[in-house]
Structure 1
Amino acid sequence: MPYKIDDVLPPELLTEVDPGTNLLVSGPAMSGKRQLLLQLLARGTSEGEGSVVVTSRNPAEDVTQSYRDVLDGDFGYFRIIDCVSSRSGAEVDGARVHEVSSPGDLTGIGIEFSEIARDAEAADIERLRVGFDSLSPLLMYVDLQRLFRFLHVFTSQIQSRDWLGLFAIDPDSHDQQEVNTISQLFDGMIEIRLGDDGREARVRGVTDAPTDWVALDE
């Protein structure tokens, strides 16, 4: 059964994606990609799906509040891997938090994600949406080759479990070669840009052809 993302993106862009899909959500600073990512995660709550957020920019408290702001209902199964603060094993406003020492601790992120995967299985959560906000800080800590290897394993886990992966990146923070290399690991991309009349988005890779740019702020 596809993962529904209608009511988040304009229908002419995308309404659903297949299980096991990994999408790159690409947009510059202040483009609202973090909010869009959280909205895409929250869309699954009404379907009984769980959500995981790996945060490399904002502490768990901020993520939890932002996630609650876009929810229409209860949390459901919600876990956070926090790479920027120290509160391992704690709960923040109903969200279970797993702490990792820094955005550069890729091994730690992988270990915590594997633990969450086991926990979700024990809780009979078969469908999970995984959001990664953001990949850009990781490249300040590790080189591109190491990040590529890590993401290959991480996205493969999502694919093999028929989950949905959503990974934010700021293309303006990297050279085009880095973005192109990372993009190879993903099934498609949601691109956001800031136009004269507001935000616009298009989708590539998971549609028959790249979509046109469509206004997000109507």
Structure 2
Amino acid sequence: MAPDGDEESDESNDSKDESGRSSFSHLADRVRNSSTENAQESDRQERSLASLADSVRQKSAANTQDTADPSVDNTESEEWDVVDGGDTNATAPTTDAKTEAVLELIDGASNVLIKGPANCATEESLCSRLMAARPEEKVDLVLLLVNESPSERLSFLQNYITNPISDISVIYVQTYDRQDKHEEFSDISIKRISDPTDLRRIGILTSKAMGARQDSPNQTVLCVHSISDLINAAKDNQRVFRFLHVLLGRVDSTGARAHYHFDPDRHANEIVQTFVSLFDTVLDFDEQGSLSLE
């Protein structure tokens, strides 16, 4: 299938008054403590991250009964409205016994954050391992790529993934002008988005790709590569926070499994703590291969 092109623009001018401003660390505390206190709405267009976290939690609690087909446009549009406020010869990476033991502990987790330095062997090993739902079982892959080109990630799959792959869809958020040549992958659906700030569009396309596979006998696996690139490209931490909050819920509702790449060295500590707090399952790793479950 030839790559499709989807382009929309979404610009947001955020203004914060001093009385409504809350630090990222304040938000992280409130998310971890699962506070149910309603945030007082501001007369201005934007709200602080702290009150935003309260708002999306209340919205999620009110819609726990949602079983609508995620492929329906109006359902998805409403759900993703919260974002706007209104991606040979090599050998496969291997994991040691300790790593395998940790991965067994998180076997039932639907959303896993892998936190550590980007572009190292440990990161690629974890990614390839998490893409394999079960040994030898077929998987349907959905790749959300920011900054990394489809050809780069698809080449990685060709070289390192040992499980049989039944189907692949790519949502490609292009953050540079260089044209990516992926003619050799012409049988793969590639949706291109040229505006990295268009988080609502990114969310709808990702949700559609997962929802389209709900009737498949294979496990659907989503790889988000990466949160750090999305934060830097979108240049709006509040909207990226909203985006991830909705996306985690969509993964749960479609029965998919997902893992998200995140490099803490690229962000201030309070930003790291805020985004980490969205996840119940966090794998912390380093370049030497050390792995721990937070």
TM-score (norm 1): 0.77
- Contact 1:41–1:129 at 8 Å: present in 2 too? yes
Match of 1:132 in 2: 224
1:25 aligns with 2:117: no
Quote how far apart the aligned CAs of 1:78 are: 1.5
SS of the aligned residue for 2:278 comes to coil
User: Matched residues, percent identical?
Assistant: 23
With over 3 angstroms needed to count, the CA separation of the structure-2 counterparts of 1:46 and 1:103, relative to structure 1, is farther
Distance 2:255 2:212 in 1: 16
Asked if the contact 2:138–2:165 (Cα under 8 Å) also holds between the matched residues in 1, the reply is no
The CA deviation string for residues 35-64 of structure 1, in whole angstroms up to 9 with x for no partner, is 521332145473233111111121111111
Structure having the higher Rg? 2
Equivalenced residue count is 192
Deviates more, 1:168-177 or 1:45-54: 45-54
Give the letter aligned to residue 145 of structure 2.
Answer: T
Structure 1 residues 42 and 104, CA, compared in 2 at 3 Å: closer, same or farther? farther
Larger helix proportion of the pair: 2
Structure 1 spans left out of the alignment, 5+ residues: 1-6, 205-218
Match in the other structure for 2:143: 53
The one of 171, 184, 209 aligned to 1:81: 171
Residue 183 of structure 1 pairs with residue 269 of structure 2: no
- Report the secondary structure of 1:104's partner residue: coil
| Contact 1:8 1:40 (C-alpha < 8 Å) held by counterparts | no
User: What is the aligned partner in structure 2 of residue 15 from structure 1?
Assistant: 104
Q: Which residue of 1 aligns with 2:292?
A: 202
Deviations 1:71-121 (A, max 9, x none): 22543122111112778xx88264321212243321121121122133213
1:171 aligns with 2:260: no
Higher normalized strand content (fraction of residues): 1
CA drift of 1:181 comes to: 0.8
Is the partner of 1:78 in helix, strand or coil?
strand
Which secondary structure state, in structure 1, belongs to the residue aligned with residue 103 of structure 2?
Answer: coil
Q: Which runs of 4 or more aligned residues in structure 1 lie more than 6 Å from their structure 2 counterparts after TM superposition? A: none
**Counterpart secondary structure, 2:101:** coil
CA distance in 1, matches of 2:107, 2:100: 16
Asked if the contact 1:135/1:168 (under 8 Å) is kept, the reply is yes
CA–CA distance in 2 between the matches of 1:81 and 1:163? 16
Are 2:112 and 2:283, in contact at CA under 8 Å, matched by a contact in 1? yes
Q: Distance in 1 between matches of 2:135 and 2:184?
A: 19
Q: Distance in 2 between matches of 1:8 and 1:96?
A: 30
Matched, 1:72 2:162: yes
Q: For residues 8 and 175 of structure 1, do their structure 2 counterparts lie closer, same or farther at Cα, with a shift above 3 Å needed?
A: same
Deviation at 1:176, TM superposition (A): 1.1
Matched with 1:212 is none
Contact kept, 8 Å, 1:31 with 1:199, in 2: the verdict is no
Alpha-carbon RMSD across the aligned residues, in angstroms, is 2.6
Cα distance change, pair 93–43 in 1 and its aligned pair in 2 (3 A): farther
Q: Which digits, 9 at most, give the CA deviation of each residue in 1:161-187, with x for residues without a partner?
A: 222110001100001111111112112
| Partner of residue 162, structure 1 | 255
Match of 2:63 in 1: none
Partner Cα separation in structure 1 for residue 141 and residue 135 of structure 2? 8
Going from structure 1 to structure 2, the CA distance change for 1:19 and 1:162 (only over 3 Å counts) comes to farther
